[in-house]
Amino acid sequence: MNDKGGEDPTADFLAEVRPEETPWRTERPPGEEAPERAERPEKWGRAKAAGRAAAAAAPYVQAAALATWIVSGTADDSGDSGFGDMGSSGDA
């Protein structure tokens, strides 16, 4: 280690930048009532409702995507489309 008079520049730096302890993380003395819970802001109500709706619709969206993929695959495989072999020059 580097002994320069017992100073530790890293510890000094960390002590300067360390945030103060937040009040909800401190220990409450015995017998003291817990603080009331803060009300949730209303602006998140719509976002949560939209998230719940998207989560509820997700299986149907996945099923529709799978069905579309299957149908598009069978449409490509079905019969002759009339174009023949587009890569050949016809001189074979």
| pLDDT tens sequence across 37-67 | 766 666 677 788 888 999 999 999 999 999 9
* Whether residue 86 has pLDDT greater than 60: no
As a dihedral over the C-alpha atoms of residue 82, residue 87, residue 90, residue 92, rounded to 10 degrees, the angle is -130
Exposure string of 50-69, with b = 16+ CB inside 10 Å and e = fewer, is eeeeeeeeeeeeeeeeeeee
Q: Are 34 and 28 in contact (CB under 8 A)?
A: yes
pTM: 0.32
Task: Determine the pLDDT at residue 15.
Answer: 87
Residue 30 has pLDDT above 80, yes or no: no
Q: Give alpha helix (H) positions in 1-92.
A: 9-17, 43-77
